[in-house]
Structure 1
Amino acid sequence: MSEFRSEQSFADMALPSAVLNQLEALQFTQPTPIQQQAIPALLAGANVLGEAQTGTGKTAAFGLPALAQVDANLKATQVLVVTPTRELAIQVAEAIDSFAKQQRGVSVTTVYGGSAFGPQIKALRSGTTVVVGTPGRLIDLLNKGVLKLDALRMAVLDEADEMLNMGFIEDIETLLRSVPEQAQRALFSATMPTAIRKLAKTYLTDPVNIRIEPVEKAKRNITQRAWQVQGMTKMTALARVLEITTYQRALIFVRTRQDTMDVAEQLQRKGFKAAPLSGDLNQSQREQTVSQLRSGHIEILVATDVVARGLDVPEITHVINYDLPGDTESYVHRIGRTGRAGREGEAILFYRPRERHLLKHYERATNGVIEAMTMPAAQQLNEHRQDLLLQRIQQTLATDVSDVQGLLQSWLEKHELSAEQIAMALLQQENTRQPMFMAEEKVIRAPKIERQGQSKKGREERRRAGPRRGADVDFDTYKIQVGKTHGARPSDIVGAIANEASLDSRYIGQIQLFDSHSLVELPKGMPKDVMHVLTKARVRQQPMAIEVTDAKVARPPRKEHRGGGAPERKRSSRSASGNGSKRGAARRFS
């Protein structure tokens, strides 16, 4: 693969005057590094393999030279851009359309699944110049004989690594095999896994290899902070962060589609302007949601990695990783949603002890530092609410209050009330609506094991026996809608409860598995918000739907020593996988 280096302005490039005039109107003056290298290479007729992160200007890097090669008099598809998601397809199409405003006869059409075929087929049959779409819908249109590539001059794969992650590799190969041999090809990706390099080697002849290193300056305006989940549930912590933090728009990343709805619903109940964004929404709903985020009708978006790919809303000031991503590339993409257009941004991570090692990987990937953060305590939250209320009162008193002043004077004269009593009553109403004197909820934790002064033999016995369960804990029995038929194991249930409830696993009692449900012992007096979280928690992709029950967990049978004497209780250790805790003392069986 050949290398290419260039230091030019847009005016120095062989772009059509109509394109240059439009760039000037859009106030595009200095090309980004990927544009400086890719545009001249594509204008020279070369194939391009570009590796650059999201937000580096890849759309213009292929869109501008593509527009330079189209024939406006030819009513046929001449440029094809393939993207992994509908959101990115719409964004790319809008960008190319804006670049082509002064090119008469050039039209751009977006095609994607989840939308009616009719308008898309009509646009293609009318001879649209540029087609931007997702793999599945493009193949459908090819098979219908509606999308014709005979006159194609350039084919572009954008975010190729994401298409690989989403399982589109076979669809991509099908599309590339349909591209005429004489057409130019360009492949852009944030990373270059082996499968993408193999794809490029197969379908790109002698491509110009362009790699843009992550620029430290691009991450310097994003502050990264991390909180270790402890002392409260993640939902409680999230609500506190959002209440204390001054944000313009916030993007919260979760793991699954169901999580987007659960987290958004809980935030809405707490008074936040939140909405989910997931693949469960149809296209019009997703477009409306993003539009509402831009306009401010929605201030918080709860999304998964896939649907947020390509989301470009400059007003996003905070990205919160409610669930951590599985790889560093996804993390870089996530935090790249903030700090856009030179603005300051902040990325916040919630991590569990077993996930601590991921922070070092994230720091290396971003060439940055992730600072430890503490969660606002109840007293800090109280003071914040009190200060805000006082500010509102002061602001109100600075306005015209003559209308209510007469009413107050009338009450003071006609009723046995003082101004102080009326003020206290109104403050109490406000305190009922949003408590200003909260205390920290008691977190159930196992007592520390005192090891000082223990003999070596004693320590060995303690390790063999495992951590002891709190002797003063009373248990209730709960029923969860997960059982053997779902592939559940006791360790799965322990892990889910310990993680979601921040509950020390030594305070999870007996577990008994049945075919379609299970019974589990938990301490009495579990907080309501914790139980709500557990209701939504999943084991083996199945909602636990936990509820208290009068049923009792059966005890495992005891075995007698061969020589008689005291019975021996059969012990079974459970895996620490999924809960980050030590071996449990309580017995689990199925």
Structure 2
Amino acid sequence: MKTFEELGLSPEIRKAVEEMGYETPMPVQEEVIPYLLGENNDVVALAQTGTGKTAAFGLPLIQQIDVKNRVPQSLILCPTRELCLQIAGDLNDYSKYVDGLKVLPVYGGSSIDSQIKSLKRGVHIIVATPGRLLDLMERKTVSLSTIRNVVMDEADEMLNMGFTDSINAILADVPQERNTLLFSATMSPEIARISKNYLHNAKEITIGRKNEGTSNVKHVVYTVHAKDKYAALKRIVDFYPQIYGIIFCRTRKETQEIADKLMQEGYNADALHGELSQAQRDAVMQKFRIRNLQLLVATDVAARGLDVDDLTHVINYGLPDDTESYTHRSGRTGRAGKTGTSIAIINLREKGKMRAIERIIGKKFLPGEIPTGQQICEKQLIKVIDDLEKVEVNEEEIANFMPEIYRKLEWLSKEDLIKRMVSHEFNRFSEYYHNREDIQQPTTESRGERGSRGEGRGNREGGSRKAAPGFTRLFINLGKMDNFFPNELIGLLNSNTRGRIELGRIDLMKNFSFFEVEEKEAKNVIKALSRANWNGRRVSVEVAGEESSSEKKGGYKRKEGGKESSSASSSSRKDKAGKSTKQADSKKQKSSREERGYSSARGKQDDWKQFFKGDAPDFSEEGWAKRKPKKK
């Protein structure tokens, strides 16, 4: 193992680094520092958060600065304000003994005028978010013509956040003769494209394997029924009394709801999401950094760029849609040589996502068992004892109070006193879990798991898959051809319903979809969404497998024995112009409704007749799939 001196760092930088507690370089630093100290050396470094990357690029950048020439010489781009401030702070620490070196963080949410004034006074290193830097460039208040080194930190996250065009504009304004370093946790196609377009003969340095999770992180999965997710989260948190971690949620609404529940139940928790103002986000983060908060409940976007040391756990309240997000989540713990745990709380329908993540990170999730009430109480009791043992006693400060305290407690024996002190701290957990039933975890042989693998297809009721226990399966007349996906369904529910709607399985078809909601919410969801519109179309929602309102009103029945049974009134019905519905509909055969597919005709008897050409509708998924509008 090399030393910092052998890597070629100056005495001033080595002195600052040693004072910060660094004795030997980390692997990424050994690889990157010598290369960046050279000329025209471009690097693509694949490394997880917490592997020492800031020092890997920061130390050689500082050493290459000509302090006497007060113009921007190095540029560091990063995705968020939080990471921008963190990097700038670290660079100031590394350059403690380099007299006159100026580092300027440039980010949105802060006064642009003060940043312009600092630029006019002269800086050597700019650490910036792409949006604010582009704003300064457009105002002609910053020049990048003197930049010799460019670093893109967490480049994959910048691209995911939509900064591609901004990065292209910024790099086009930087001299071609420069060193460029691209840091990313994963090698995505977009990262490869940026590397090809803007880096020259770049050296690829990989710490671990490509896209692999941090080696110090253990991955554990708890599989539960969807309705038990919050209860499982609560038990997991209670089972780890010393937990200091982030709970990741999918949406802002879910994030706030989970945080509110935890706070109401006495946990030191708070929410971090995009609807908070910058001042609110800063206040939450400050409380979390100084450990006034034990749990931070956050969305992926809000948590990007957070640099908090010593996290013991990351909890995924459901898995993200893309595996790269999971890599970033789990990389928040197990940093700087320490160990951490990444927990996923999933239902059976998320097993496919879990397996995809396992392939990417090259590790298996360890199956976890939800702690019982007795196990939790035992853990909490031990914590109370440990805390009592670690209490520091200041004899002088309490001496004047002790005689009165002895007098009040003298009637208690030592055993009684210990019992009362323990119970004072412990009763909340013992009362909550007393006689409370343990959470039943689904087995891999359960019906839900077979269904998720596509087995048991004969198990249908009224043409639909059986809903999970406690859930109702609903039909909606929107599908993939309408660009209708899980996020769109969640958005539709959020904008048309009140309170939290627990979703179960979602099955997306070409022209329609099925989804599950809790039984108690089914009627409310049907009523709320049936008044909604989607991109100008009327939304239709009903219980899957039941006769639709169009069938009941129009007199249509299911196909029986290959023949269709229909009421006389429906077959003879005329439109207002005196023409039969078949004639009226034939003139609309090339309408946009037909182009969108038969699901958009749901709810009108005349449309059924036109689209299905005399065949009564079959509500099974196979029946839907076979139905196509017949062209004249």
Instruction: Say whether the fold is shared (TM-score over 0.5).
Output: yes
Aligned equivalents of 1:507, 1:53: Cα separation in 2: 43
Residue 436 of structure 2 is aligned to residue 439 of structure 1: yes
Name the counterpart of 1:30.
24
SS in 1 for 2:336: helix
Residue 584 of structure 2 corresponds to: none
Query: CA offsets, 1:134-190, max 9 Å, x none?
Result: 000000011111112232221211111111111111100100011123333222222
1:324 aligns with 2:319: yes
Q: How does 1:169-568 map to 2 (within 5 A)?
A: 169-214=164-209, 219-230=214-225, 232-378=227-373, 380=375, 403=405, 406=408, 434-440=431-437, 463=460, 465=462, 497-499=502-504, 517-518=529-530, 557=552, 559=556, 562=565
1:118 paired to 2:113: yes
Instruction: Give ranges in structure 1 of 5+ residues lacking alignment.
Output: 1-6, 411-418, 450-458, 476-484, 520-538, 541-552, 576-590
Aligned-pair CA distance for 1:330: 2.2
> Which residue number corresponds to residue 20 of structure 1?
14
CA distance in 1, matches of 2:380, 2:550: 49
545, 565, 572: which one aligns with 2:619: 572
CA distance in 1, matches of 2:126, 2:54: 14
TM-score (normalised: structure 2): 0.67
Query: What do residues 238-275 of structure 1 show as CA deviations (whole Å, max 9, x unaligned)?
Result: 11211122334121111123322221111101111101
Deviates more, 1:304-313 or 1:173-182: 304-313
How many angstroms does 1:191 deviate by?
2.0
User: Is residue 35 of structure 2 the alignment partner of residue 41 of structure 1?
Assistant: yes
Aligned residues of 2:50 and 2:336 also touching (Cα < 8 A): no
Displacement of 1:500: 9.6
Is the 2:312–2:334 Cα contact (8 Å) retained in structure 1?
yes
Question: Which piece of structure 1 moves more, 239-248 or 217-226?
Answer: 217-226
Measured on the aligned residues, the alpha-carbon RMSD in Å equals 4.8
Cα offset, 1:49, TM superposition: 2.4
Distance 1:431 1:13, change over 3 A: closer
**Distance (Å, rounded) in 1 between the aligned partners of 2:272 and 2:457:** 52
Kindly, what percent of the aligned residue pairs are identical?
A: 33
Which has the higher mean CA deviation after the structures are superposed, 309-318 or 506-515?
506-515
Match of 1:455 in 2: none
Q: Distance in 2 between matches of 1:71 and 1:255?
A: 46
Query: Take 2:210 and 2:489, find their aligned partners in 1: how far apart are those partners?
Result: 46
Aligned residues: 499
Displacement of 1:299? 0.8
- Relative distance call for 1:251 and 1:141 in structure 2 (3 A) is same
Which of 48, 54, 66 matches 1:53? 48
- Report the CA distance between 1:386 and its aligned residue: 7.9
Contact 1:233–1:500, Cα closer than 8 Å, also in 2: no
The AA in structure 1 aligned to 2:303 is: A
Secondary structure of 1:149's aligned partner: coil
Contact map agreement 1:294 1:315 (CA 8 A) in 2: no
- Of 43-52 and 120-129, more deviation after overlay is shown by 43-52
- The answer to whether residue 127 in structure 2 is matched with residue 80 in structure 1 is no
Single out whichever of 333-342 and 69-78 deviates more from structure 2. Answer: 333-342
* One-letter amino acid matched to 1:141: L
In 2, Cα distance between equivalents of 1:271 and 1:71: 54
The verdict on how the C-alpha distance between 1:432 and 1:49 changes in structure 2, with shifts beyond 3 A counting, is closer
Which letter maps to 1:242?
V
Between 256-265 and 85-94, report the one with greater CA deviation: 256-265
Distance 1:432 1:386 in 2: 9
Residue 252 of structure 1: SS of its match in structure 2?
strand
Residue 13 of structure 1 aligns to which amino acid in structure 2? L
Per the TM alignment, residue 467 of structure 1 is displaced from its structure 2 partner at its CA by 7.6
The structural deviation recorded for 1:57 is 2.0
Between 168-177 and 351-360, the greater mean CA deviation after superposition: 351-360
Q: 1:240 to 1:173 in 2, by over 3 A?
A: same
Is the partner of 1:24 in helix, strand or coil? Answer: helix
Deviation, 1:38, is: 1.9
More displaced stretch, 128-137 vs 492-501: 492-501
1:21 to 1:394, Cα distance in 2 relative to 1, 3 A: closer
How far apart are the structure 1 equivalents of 2:551 and 2:527? 18
Amino acid at match of 1:203: Y
CA drift of 1:41 comes to 1.7
Match of 2:88 in 1: 93
* Structure-to-structure mapping, 1:146-185, within 5 angstroms: 146-185=141-180
Q: Output the CA distance in 1 between the equivalents of 2:28 and 2:439.
A: 54
SS at the partner of 1:147?
A: coil
Q: Is the 8 A contact 2:213 2:327 kept in 1?
A: no
Q: Which amino acid aligns with 1:222?
A: V
**Consecutive unaligned residues in structure 2, runs of 5 or more:** 448-455, 473-481, 507-514, 536-547, 558-563, 569-615, 623-632
Separation in 1, partners of 2:516, 2:307 = 40
Instruction: Confirm or deny: 8 A CA contact 1:157 1:188 kept in the other structure.
Output: yes
